[in-house]
Structure formats: C-alpha cells, structure tokens
Structure 1
C-alpha cells in the first residue's frame, strides 16, 4: 500500500519540478486544444493606460474575433504604488499573462527578476524589422524581453492663442533660455507660463546624460555635467525669480492636476507627452476654446551637440514566463502591435509597427477635433527626423537618489553645488557596489 502511494506522489513532484524548470527557462507552452465543448483560454493583460482610453475597446475587438482566447484588461496606475502592485502580482503568481511597462529602468528590473519571457524563441515575427531601429533601446543583454508598441515622445504643448496674443511664434529650434523667456512672457497673461508633470522632471535631467554619458571616461559619475546644471538653474529661476512655474513643494503637496490646468487655459505651455491627447481630445470633460500647437523639447544650449529627446518607442509589452498560455499570449501580442491597438491612438498612442499606416493613425489621432489643433506643428514634431530620441538607462536606484537631492534644491534646503556633491558621492558609491 505504501509503495502504491509513493509512486503517484513522486510522479507529482517530478511533474512539478519539470514544469518549474520549463518556466524558469522561458519555454513556450503549447496552446491548449480547443473544440466545440472546450472552455476558452483566458488571458489577463495589465497596462498603465485607463481602460476607457482605448485598451478596453481593443480587448473587446480581440474577444469578438477570437472566441477561443478571451482577454481581460487590468489597469494599474503608472506610479510607484501602481508599479509595486504589478510587481507583487508578477512575483506572487496572481495570474498576469501579459503586461506593459512604461519606462526602461523599471522594465530592466523586471527582466532581472525573471518575470519577462525571452521573445527570441519566437521565429515568426521580427521586432527589429517591424518596429525599426529604435526598438533596440528596449533590449536587455541584447535580447528582447518585451515588444515596444507605440511611438514615445515628450514635447511642449502650447496654447496657440496665447502665443499669438504675446507675439510669439511656435518655436522649433530653441533652447532652455528661450523657453524661460516664453514662460515669463506668457505668465503676464496666464496664471502660469509653463506647467510640468511631476513624472517628467526626471526625464528632463536624463537628456544630458544621453548625450554626455552617465559616467565619465575614467568611470566616475557624470551626474554633475554642465547641461544638467543649466537645466536645474533655469527651473529654479523660473520658480523663484520669474514666478512663471509653480514652486515644486506647492505642486507636490497640492497634487496639482497640471493637464487640467493647461486645458482650462491657465497656462501658456505644458511639458508632457503624447499621453495628454486622451485629455485634450476629450472636449466633453475638458472643453476649451483655444488651439493647441506643439514644439520639441528645447536644447539646453545653442552649442549642444548630439541633441536627444526622451522618447523613441514605448509601452513595452512582455509575457510572464509563468503564464500557462504563452502561445496564446504571443498571438494576442502580435495582433495588438500590428494594428489591434489602433483604438488607443486617439489617446495619443500612435502604433510603431510598420503594419500600421502613419497617415491613417494621424487621422485617428485628431478625428473630430482637427479644428482644435495647429495641425502643421503636430505633424512637424510628431513625425520629425530632426532629432534623435533616447530611453533612460540610469538605474532606478539613482533616479530615486537624484529625486531626493533635487527636491532639497528646489525647496531651498540645499544649494545646487551641495546637491551635486551629495549626488556624485551616491553615484560613485553605487558604481563601486555594482562592480563587485
């Protein structure tokens, strides 16, 4: 009797061990057989985009076309707490099959935690060919663990009517000093000359290091480079001298809804990105009587070489190696990237796949609201080849450390020089630790 009980128990252990080994290696599971009486495969898709901004419609379209593979959309808020929620779900096996990550440092951390499948095992889709050379920004150790799916670009939103009233042209080749001047002049007729999302403060400071490098040739920290200093000095002066942007502490404590303030006409400029289209195109909830133009992120100085703007491609979608339906997840991901995601376009998410016609996507983006935009500047910036883009490669630990330091500077609790002394020391210590 004991022998008969041991055999099945041992077999179960062997099966469990083999399945865990397969998962740890990222081996694609076979799609279950489906027949007339078979239950549909169920997938969960997590992303930081609100369901009503297109993802739910995209999923509904898929579900209608694919009764045997049904997808449920789960939205997480793309902030620190929301990302912790996703990470917890991934690490504790809470049924995440597919998920989107919206910045590279977080994604790299997930790859190191082995919660992203190596997509190189699939031979029926060429990410480089379909998405273009900018897709490689999302490689980790020269491998794709996710597929970037949208054009990702930060730029300056402009109240075109306010510009015209101030006698200011829509800028294109401009600098941070020019932007400071614009903000000061626009603040004479608006509450604020410029507003900015808190999440973009870090991306602003990443741009110089995309040009000059995170470390110097000798291997030491380059976080105190001249371009970063110039940006921080300008922002501090705009707060305290010009009073053209809110005080950092005030914006943080009040959790200022900056996109709402801009769309209400209370600011002349707004530093953000394409995700704001989901608000700007929603005239029911965000009515406005002015046209919007856009301008590229300015250079720091006129002599700046190899100018780069945060962007490229984004919304990198990965498959959880622990998913029980990896083949089905891959099938959905290819469909989504090659046009299934078009419902998200009016919210600003322009598909990056060559399978989607750019002119068609642009029409969807401004459908029904063409008269509310300066279309010429939209096309000029959104599809520009005049500047290169980058994805931040700075480790998340140093992004957090830098934030601690610039918050003290922007609240006048330390000087700029002291900020850089502290930050460079932290970074050099971090570099030494990671070499061990």
Structure 2
C-alpha cells in the first residue's frame, strides 16, 4: 500500500476504534440490530451478493441507503438525495452529516466498525482513506466494470488510488484561488492576475493596504501550500533519503510571509490571527481586506447576503507560485470528496447505482456550497448556475470561469504524513511568532522530518 500514514499512526487510530467499540459493546450488550454486520471476522459482501442491480427486495420494500458526509444538509446534500429519491422510489437515500474533524471522523469510523447503518461515506483526505482501507472499511471498486473512474474524472483521479486501485470515486473539483475585491483593484490601478508570483502578490498587498488595515488575508491552514507545491514535485526527501524541508524555496516562502506580517504590515501577524480567532472570510466579505487566499467553499458565504452583506464585485485569480518559472508549477487542488462504499454494507450494488448517478451530475446542487462536479459528463453550466444562484451579477464571471474551469495548471493533493505536517507547523509557527530564527526553524523542520523517516523506514 502507498505509505501515506505511518504504521504507528495507523495502529494508534485503529486502537482508538477498538476501545470505542469495546465501550459501545459494554453499553449496548448487542450489535445495534446489524445482524452481525459489525463482526470483525465477517467478510465484506461482494457486489454480486448484494441487491443485484439495485432493485428493491422481493418484499417490494425499497432499498434504504445511508450516506455519511461532512457538508451541512442545507448546503446541497439534502437537495441531492431529495432529487434521487423522487426519481428512484425503489432505492431511497438518507443523508447523515458528520463534522469533518478528528471527533467526527472517529464517529464515522466507529459506526462502520460496529455495524451501524453506513452504506456510502465521504473521505476528505488520502490519509483517512488509507486508514479505512487498511481496516477493511472501504470496498475495492474494481469489482464494478461499468464505470471508468480515470476516464470520467481525468488524470488527477490517479492521486486517489491505493496500490493502483480505487476504493472510492473522487467527485469534486477542488479549486483554490485568491478572491479579490474588484473595485479595490480598479481604484489601485491593478489588473486581475492570471499568472503571478508571491512576490507579485506581496506588492499587490502593499498597494491595497489602507491605514491600519491589511491587503491580504488567509486561514492558517493554507500557509504551507506554497511549500507543498514545490516539494510535491521535487520530493519531500533528497536523493540521499534525507529531508528536503531545507529546500531554498522553503526558506523563500517563510521569509516572504514573515516580511508581509512584520515588515509590510500587509497581512495579519500569526499571533494576532490566533488570539483573535480572526474570521477571515468575514474580513474579506465586509470589504475590510481586499484579497483572500481560499477555496471554492467561499461561495457558500459570498452568496449569503443575509450574514455577509457586501457591496463589491468578487473577482478571482490563481494562487501565486514561488518560483519565477511557471513551467514546473503545480497548485493545490485536484479532486476531492472521495466517496466510498462501506465494505460491510449489505446494499453495495444499490449504493453503486447511486454513486454513479451522483458523480455524473446528480451532485449538481452541491455547487451551491462551492463543490463542482469533476466528471466530464456532468453539466458544468448547471453547476455554475447552482454555484452562483441569484447573485451572478456580483461576481466577475470571466475570472471565475478561468480559475474554475480554464486554468490548466497541474494540481497536487497533499499526501504528507500528519506527523510531519504537525512537526513542521510547530516549528514555523515559532518563527512567525518571533521566538525562533529562520535558520533554526529550517534546521528543526528538517531534523524532525529526518527523525520521522528513520523511525518509519
């Protein structure tokens, strides 16, 4: 299997599930009415032994499926299942929401391990998928020969394979971009960029900054995207097997962001952002900050004029690159919302019918929450209509179309082990907070990565 998570991390996660399972068994004294589906020794039912083509059982009752996902029902999922249920009375789907955090993902894993009703579920990272495959929770979809995932979703789908197999279908495009206050750019005589560097963005931020305000803002989560855009291609390790976290462009990125915080005053210092729990989307949509580094989920808020009233046009630009040359640049994005079928589900064939329909366009209402269908057979015009709703005239649609559909920059999906991501964030945060020098920060990141590599050889 692709080594996406350490063995130690995997078995720690599985041990947590075992403890939870034991606690649940002690409380319930039964199997939650699952008829043995939660038995650790039970073999997953094959598609051929499920419901066949998805037709209702002989009793004439409809097949009932439960799909677990992290998106609030009102942001698209409920409309999706309502549409399906209206068209398919023989297979009825219920959507169950779990919060996409550590606690929520543990809740989902526990439900599957204990035989509760989960037929389909959404993975949001490769590392989550890998753990679930190891635990026997995700069905190998190669048993189904009537849908070519790679052909439907394009070459980016391959990044979701494990040992060359699909254990789910990546259903959404996940574009990241810089959202712009178009009127603020026009007042500063700045064009909407279609290809730019972080040095360019730094200059934009300085020119767009007014008074004590900022010119650029972002959540802390994408801080490292520029680093990963480089190392996902050049390697997180060097040819000698040691850490590449001391790459020259890693230094350049840390210096650039730190200078924007502390020299230019054009982006919030990390300390201020953490202590104030700064609502970055609100800062942008209120007009206080004219540039925001974010992903397509911004549209969920920018379409909401009740909670986020605004009086400006939102324009869009690609995420900048670190290197001067664009030829080797990749950007974060690719495909997401990797939907798997529970290997223990008794209704796998019916679940497969729903999943194909969902991926090929049934998911269109999800665009209202910023999720665009990845399948080449989905109706992109319909998705764009759902994406913008009745607020289309408040967006610069030329730049939106470019970043959503026309930008051909290759993408990467972050696959670095969580232990390494945690270690490097702990070190660069010290630098941004002013408690550690740049040299010591880079040395510490590389050293801790090397320790990880030695422990997981």
Q: Aligned with 1:192: secondary structure?
A: coil
1:180 and 1:18, CA in 2 relative to 1: closer, same or farther beyond 3 A?
closer
Does 1:421 find its partner at 2:454? Answer: no
User: Matches of residues 341-360 of structure 1 in structure 2 within 5 Å?
Assistant: 341-360=363-382
Match of 2:17 in 1: none
Match of 1:135 in 2: 157
Q: Distance in 2 between matches of 1:201 and 1:25?
A: 43
User: Matches of residues 240-279 of structure 1 in structure 2 within 5 Å?
Assistant: 240-279=262-301
TM-score (norm 2): 0.86
Which range moves more in the overlay, 98-107 or 216-225? Answer: 98-107
Does 1:83 find its partner at 2:105? Answer: yes
Match of 1:108 in 2: 130
Does 1:193 find its partner at 2:211? Answer: no
Match of 2:456 in 1: 434
Residue 289 of structure 1, CA deviation: 0.7
Q: Distance in 2 between matches of 1:106 and 1:403?
A: 20
1:192 and 1:125, CA in 2 relative to 1: closer, same or farther beyond 3 A?
same
Does 1:161 find its partner at 2:183? Answer: yes
1:114 and 1:411, CA in 2 relative to 1: closer, same or farther beyond 3 A?
farther
1:92 and 1:371, CA in 2 relative to 1: closer, same or farther beyond 3 A?
same
Match of 1:226 in 2: 248
Does 1:63 find its partner at 2:85? Answer: yes
Q: Distance in 2 between matches of 1:109 and 1:117?
A: 13
User: Matches of residues 28-67 of structure 1 in structure 2 within 5 Å?
Assistant: 29-31=49-51, 34=56, 37-67=59-89
Match of 1:300 in 2: 322
Root-mean-square deviation (CA, aligned residues, Å) is 2.4
Residues 371-421 of structure 1 deviation map (CA, whole Å, 9 limit, x = unaligned): 111111111221234411111121122112222222222222212222222
Which range moves more in the overlay, 104-113 or 414-423? Answer: 104-113
CA contact (8 A) 2:317 2:403 kept: yes
Match of 2:349 in 1: 327
Residues 40-60 of structure 1 deviation map (CA, whole Å, 9 limit, x = unaligned): 332221222121111111011
Residues 140-186 of structure 1 deviation map (CA, whole Å, 9 limit, x = unaligned): 11111110001111110001111111111111221111111111221
Q: Distance in 2 between matches of 1:18 and 1:360?
A: 40
1:54 and 1:20, CA in 2 relative to 1: closer, same or farther beyond 3 A?
same
Match of 1:172 in 2: 194
Does 1:98 find its partner at 2:120? Answer: yes
Q: Distance in 2 between matches of 1:304 and 1:338?
A: 32
1:162 and 1:29, CA in 2 relative to 1: closer, same or farther beyond 3 A?
farther
TM-score (norm 1): 0.90
CA contact (8 A) 1:275 1:349 kept: yes
Q: Aligned with 1:116: secondary structure?
A: coil
Match of 2:43 in 1: 23
Q: Distance in 2 between matches of 1:143 and 1:281?
A: 38
**Among candidates 375, 379, 394, match of residue 401 of structure 2:** 379
Match of 1:211 in 2: 233
Residue 208 of structure 1, CA deviation: 1.3
Residues 317-344 of structure 1 deviation map (CA, whole Å, 9 limit, x = unaligned): 1112122221221111111111110011
1:145 and 1:202, CA in 2 relative to 1: closer, same or farther beyond 3 A?
farther
Match of 1:286 in 2: 308
Residue 433 of structure 1, CA deviation: 2.4
Match of 2:30 in 1: none
Q: Aligned with 1:193: secondary structure?
A: coil
Which range moves more in the overlay, 80-89 or 319-328? Answer: 80-89
Task: State the number of aligned residues.
Answer: 421
Residue 294 of structure 1, CA deviation: 0.5
Q: Aligned with 2:177: secondary structure?
A: strand
Structure 1 unaligned residues grouped into runs of 5+: 1-14
Q: Distance in 1 between matches of 2:247 and 2:443?
A: 12
Residue 216 of structure 1, CA deviation: 0.9
CA contact (8 A) 2:57 2:63 kept: no
1:85 and 1:223, CA in 2 relative to 1: closer, same or farther beyond 3 A?
farther
Residues 18-65 of structure 1 deviation map (CA, whole Å, 9 limit, x = unaligned): 986663586664118736854433222122212111111101111222
1:36 and 1:103, CA in 2 relative to 1: closer, same or farther beyond 3 A?
closer
Q: Distance in 2 between matches of 1:23 and 1:204?
A: 43
Q: Distance in 2 between matches of 1:315 and 1:298?
A: 24
Residues 77-122 of structure 1 deviation map (CA, whole Å, 9 limit, x = unaligned): 3333333333333344433221112222333333233322111111
Q: Distance in 2 between matches of 1:30 and 1:311?
A: 35
Match of 1:7 in 2: none
Residue 362 of structure 1, CA deviation: 2.4
1:250 and 1:72, CA in 2 relative to 1: closer, same or farther beyond 3 A?
farther
